[in-house]
Structure 1
């Protein structure tokens, strides 16, 4: 007797369970596709992007988007966190190449460039940070990176030893989100220079 015909779930390579629901692998694939699509849409837009448009471009229904990201803030934070990894991962390389104060200033410039590409999510980020709706882990990663610069700089005598890393994070957030999306880069650089100068030991000069 021939074996029974495979179930639809098995025929499809296990993409659905017996109830016709997506498997965990498919759900993860959809989540990654939504983040990548949102990342591109936010970077290209001059203002807020409709979630329906992101779902459509990702090839999924709006219900699938909301299952993964119940709010706009949760999607924005997922995009922010995924790209932030590249920024925070650069700390060790910069410290290996430069004195801590110079490395920190270079890192702040890289972070500013990262934020400047977020036109389509700027308002959501600003409002979310102000209201505490953006997930804390993203801020914690930035603060941990800053703490590494401060520790190395204090040990070398080029950065103050009495600074709370979270205070510096607050300063940077204030700089980035107080500036209009079309502010000249020269203004951003001047503000970052002021932040860096405030962190130098009193009486020290700027690094060359």
Structure 2
């Protein structure tokens, strides 16, 4: 892997312990983690790094779907099954870096709700709402494409990076979505922002109070502007 990365122009550094990885993570553009570590729990390492930093992470695992789901829930932005072709790693790494380095996105505002995709912050009535990385991505995706109904398969593909949803959504993956949506609704203080469309999927609600218009607006705001 190291040789492949360096051949494609990436500077690399390896560390031998979980503590070293956590301490050094913020100094790099991307962290690659082997989840099958023998001397340290790779899933625990993902969580520790995510608690300390917003650095993008890709996990590698040779085991089953459960580890993949747990890694994504623990903070990994992507997870690759071993063995993997070098071309796939470079493609996924490039896609992740493009997302991270993308130009600033406009603020999303819907009455009391404000979503800042650049700071990755959500506020309700000016109060900061603490969302996990994946919770933010789910809410932002739904709000940015308001009016669209997202199936479970599409949420898994676009937020969790699943590439095998054509064969159906497993019960474990389905529970992952339900858990995240339930948590988002609870933290926002309302279940009306995200609507369940029975038998189809989920969409962002443009009306938090029945009968009262609440169109989602896009506007730019400098990071120095008071909130």
TM-score by length of 2: 0.29
Greater RCO, CA 8 A, separation 6+: 1
Q: Which has the higher helix share?
A: 1
**If you compute each CA radius of gyration, which structure gives the higher value, 1 or 2?**
1
Q: Which has the higher strand share?
A: 2
